[in-house]
Amino acid sequence: MLKIKALMSWKYGGFAAAYAAAAAAGFFLAGTRVAGVASFADISVSGAVGLPYSAAVFAGSLVRSIISGGVGHNIVKLSSLALIVIIKMFLEPKNDPKLCGINTAVSVFASGAAVSAVIGELIYKLLFYGFYAALAGFTAYSAARVITEIKRRRTVDISGMNGFSCAVVYIMFISSLCSVKLPTVNAGMIVSAAVTLTGAYFYRQNGGVFCGALSVCGAFLSSAAVGTNMVLLPAAGLLTGYLYRQKNHIAAACFVGINFALTVFTGMTVKGVENMMDVLLGAVIFLPVSAFYSDKWIRTGNENSGALSEMISTKMDFLSNTVSELRSESERISEMLLKSGDTDREISENSDKVCSLCYRRAFCWKSDRGNTYRGFSKLADMTEFAAESFPAELDECIRKGDLIDAFTKSSREKAAAKLMEMRFSESRSLLHEQLRITEDIIRSAGERVDVSYSETVSRSIKHKLEKFGIITRNIIAYYNSRNRLIAEIYFDSEDAPGSGTRVCDLIADELQLSLDCTGPVRSGDEVRIRVYEKPRYGMEVYAASAGADNSGDNGDTHTVFFDGIGAVYAVLSDGMGTGCEAASESRMVVSLFRRLITGGVELEAAVKLVNSVMVTKSWEESFATLDAVRIDLDDCGLTVIKSGAAATIIRHRGNVMKITSPTFPIGIYETSEVFVRNCEFESGDMIIMFSDGISENAYPFIKELLLGGDDIRHIVDEISGKAQVFNPCIHSDDVTVIGVRVTG
């Protein structure tokens, strides 16, 4: 048992297994035939894989030829394999599918031409080897495309040109299997039956017909007799496809029964009985395979899903633009209303009040209009009124007292109006900022995401939960761009469990996967729990806090949470001042930010919304910083987010850098300032976050600690413990230090 564990943990175990598989493929395929001639399957495999595995295929084929005594007969094949390995020595690491295909075709043609020239059959064989080389090269190109896609996305994409490549590889595989000599049964027929039944069961009628037709093509390539025996598979796959909602053993029994009925209708023979044995064995293989099969490994490239996603994206963009137009129109109207309270209106109203009953009105406003208007304008600009400051242009006015009273009143009204305008201006600014945030949220909600929805897994989860009495509103299971399963389970609030642990355990038991889950997230009368496969990377986090002057109260708040999709957030907020009041501000910022992020709001929009809430929550001045890092645990990407926060120290590849941002804290201005920066990051790197209680004088000390070791606890404790040593101020501040280290 210990030896097995040691082998599994051996870092070269994967390479050794792949090398052995390549050698076995060369050994097995060396004896297969296609259309009556030696199969080029082993040559194509050698051309499609990397250099060490190509050499393994060559070794396996050579061993098979030596054992069977057919080295001379297989000299063209062996020389082609050797030439492929030699060329790959110069092409590595450029294992491009096109180069693989060209390398294979050139090697086969050159080897065939050379051998034909030696035995004197160059002209006679040249055309044949040209055709043979083209087929081998194209098959190698197709296989290399499939391998590249599997390496890149860890899945098999059967849509578009990738699907065509998969079809070519599958046809050649079935053709090679069909030529294997076994007593009574046919290996190609058994595998074809299992694949056709699997396609029909998981992908309905289209899957059954597609897999069956490709299987028949491969069988006819091997020989017409074998192809004729398998010609009923597409029809059986079509009819079985209607049973995709049934249990797997029911689908298998129906598939066998349909094949038997079709065989009887077309004329039962001894060969037909042997074919039924192959179909039965294929159905037997399907039963355990279907229990562990997952559409995680297959991407069908559903075009309807893509069109729906495009439609949603377009509608969301249009809605976002509508909100943008509404905001622009509101701003324009506000500007127009501001211009309505001008000086001309004040002069006109006061002249009507005072001068309308004066007998000198005609002289003042007609004969001496210029002087009169200038005098009224000066009165309109005054804030304090006295006889000695009365405008000289109105010295002859007989109603000076009335004018002073009128303009004194209008001046007070203007002051009150300005105060109200200032308040309304703040409200309008906040409204426009909230409309702008709404635009961002709507637009980000409409962005296309690279996920693959799994109806099969969604249905399996629903049935499992219902079996144990757990009622759900909706279940959405999908695979992300890294082919990692994520399932979102939605409940009505009255049916929602208090924890996601039991739901996670039931789903893990159903899917036979190691899963984790987030806590329940509430939105209105709905609750969501996310269950997910663990990402590639992990995270080690440690924090230390201390109150100002060693008091028990700390105004800083910090948290670490996982969004359930693939990113983990470390968040720190420093409230204004110290103690309990500062803590309430920072707790509100952290709580709101976490709720918005887990609810699906985009990063910058979440910060702006938190700022909007903090500005409007009360008339009292209150603010808090926001310092957060987001780490994508699928690809180790790092994003730093800051609003008025202290610097963040990052150790990356043995270098230490400091990230600062000239932004204001949350809650000061209606329009928030957000600093966002994406940084390079990888496994083993570290992040140190801290509040304002850590002085800049401590940065050299922190750098020395980061370069001196990987013990995150020791580093954080040292920084926190020596905060006062580096603080030149008389009054200390609350101290919080968070250390983050990525593992994987």
When pLDDT is cut at 50, 70 and 90, the band that residue 632 belongs to is: very high
Say whether pLDDT at 303 is over 50: no
Say whether pLDDT at 97 is over 90: no
Say whether pLDDT at 108 is over 70: yes
556 vs 547: CA distance, rounded Å? 9
Longest Cα separation, the chain? 134
pLDDT tens by residue, 344-369: 777 787 788 888 778 788 788 887 88
- State which of 64-78, 299-313, 586-600 shows the largest mean pLDDT: 586-600
pTM over 0.75: no
pLDDT at position 310: 57
pLDDT at position 225: 82
What is the average pLDDT across 102-120?
83
pLDDT at position 271: 61
When pLDDT is cut at 50, 70 and 90, the band that residue 1 belongs to is: very low
What is the average pLDDT across 269-292?
81
282 vs 270: CA distance, rounded Å? 19
What is the average pLDDT across 277-290?
89
pLDDT at position 461: 92
pLDDT tens by residue, 189-209: 999 999 999 988 888 888 889
User: Which structure tokens are listed for 728?
Assistant: 């030149």
pLDDT tens by residue, 405-454: 888 888 777 776 666 655 555 566 666 666 677 777 777 666 666 778 88
Residues with Cβ < 8 Å from 558, sequence gap 6 or more?
A: 543, 545, 570, 571, 572, 573, 590, 736, 738
Per the CB < 8 A criterion, the answer to whether 744 and 722 are in contact is no
pLDDT at position 194: 92
pLDDT at position 5: 47
**Stretch (H or E) spanning 493:** none
Mean pLDDT of the chain: 81
Q: Any idea how long the chain is?
A: 744
Nearest to 212 by CA among 630, 502, 229: 229
Query: How large a percentage of the chain has pLDDT more than 70?
Result: 83
Inter-CA distances, 123 with 38, 120, 128, 271, Å: 20, 8, 10, 42
pLDDT tens by residue, 145-172: 888 888 877 788 787 788 888 888 888 8
DSSP letter at 185? S
**Stretch (H or E) spanning 572:** strand 567-574
What is the average pLDDT across 94-98?
76
3-state secondary structure of 443: helix
| Candidate from 3-7, 358-362, 579-583 with smallest mean pLDDT | 3-7
Per the CB < 8 A criterion, the answer to whether 40 and 61 are in contact is no
DSSP letter at 645? P
3-state secondary structure of 695: coil
pLDDT at position 311: 52
pLDDT tens by residue, 445-503: 666 667 788 888 888 899 999 999 999 989 989 888 888 899 999 999 888 888 889 99
600 vs 69: CA distance, rounded Å? 66
User: Which structure tokens are listed for 160?
Assistant: 């578009």
pLDDT tens by residue, 217-253: 988 888 888 888 888 888 888 988 887 767 888 888 9
pLDDT tens by residue, 533-570: 989 898 899 998 887 666 666 778 899 999 888 899 99
Per the omega criterion (within 30 degrees of 0), is the bond before 93 cis? Answer: yes
Inter-CA distances, 250 with 207, 254, 469, Å: 18, 6, 25
Per the CB < 8 A criterion, the answer to whether 365 and 356 are in contact is no
When pLDDT is cut at 50, 70 and 90, the band that residue 8 belongs to is: very low
* Number of other CB atoms surrounding residue 316 within 10 Å: 17
* Number of other CB atoms surrounding residue 387 within 10 Å: 8
662 vs 666: CA distance, rounded Å? 13
Per the CB < 8 A criterion, the answer to whether 196 and 211 are in contact is yes
pLDDT at position 360: 80
pLDDT tens by residue, 42-91: 888 888 888 888 888 889 888 888 887 777 777 888 888 888 888 888 76
pLDDT tens by residue, 683-732: 899 999 988 878 888 888 989 999 988 899 999 999 888 877 777 665 56
Tabulate helix, strand, coil % of the chain (nearest 5): 60, 15, 25
620 vs 613: CA distance, rounded Å? 13
What is the average pLDDT across 161-190?
85
When pLDDT is cut at 50, 70 and 90, the band that residue 629 belongs to is: very high
pLDDT at position 7: 44
**CA-CA-CA-CA torsion for 125, 126, 129, 130, nearest 10 degrees?**
-150
241 vs 231: CA distance, rounded Å? 17
